[in-house]
Amino acid sequence: MAIIAKIGQVLNTPIKIGKTVNHSSNPFAAATFVTADVFVSKAAKPSLKDKLKLSAFVGSIGDAFPTFRKGIESVVAFGNRMKEGFSSAMSKLNEIGSMEISIDFAGAGRAIKSGFASIADNYSVQKLKKQDVASLEAMWKELSGLNIAA
């Protein structure tokens, strides 16, 4: 939007361009980067007025670039700030010490599995201590391969 506005502005100020041409031996001295030779065509040479317009257009692009550059730079700076912020946050978390930042899905899976196993396990201490001694003795004998009746 800014470029179009600028182009429009430049193109709509013929008096200013005319003044420049009148006071300069080189009519393209006002152009910032590109000389009019860039636009020379063997097939159809542009008129002086066209050259001036194109020159003004190129000049306006040259003027517009810093704006773009600033915009791009600000985006890059924003990205860098975000990156630095994230890095510093990670550093802070690391500085906390033994706190584990990574998420161990495998470990969590095992923990959940272990939790379910302990619920389903009839040989957990919590369940065993609710049983009477005779039952515990029988279970122990069975596990030891001893004859329960003996």
Q: Give residues in contact with other proteins (CB under 8 A).
A: 123-125, 128-129, 131-134, 136-137, 139-141, 143-144
Minimum distance of other proteins from residue 123's CB (angstroms): 4
Our CB check for other proteins shows the closer of 99 and 143 to be 143
Locate 133 and state its tokens. 């001694």
Would you state the structure tokens that stand for residue 84, as one six-digit string? 């630095």
Cβ proximity of 58 and 33 under 8 Å? yes
Shortest separation between residue 84's beta carbon and other proteins, angstroms: 50
Backbone angles phi and psi of 102, in degrees to 5: -65, 155
Residues 148, 140: Cα–Cα separation, whole Å: 9
Q: Which is nearer to other proteins, 82 or 111 (CB)?
A: 111
Q: How far apart are CA 150 and CA 55, in angstroms?
A: 111
Closest CB to other proteins among residues 106, 150: 150
First-to-last C-alpha distance (Å) of the chain: 97
Q: Which is nearer to other proteins, 1 or 143 (CB)?
A: 143
CB of 149 to other proteins, least distance (A): 15
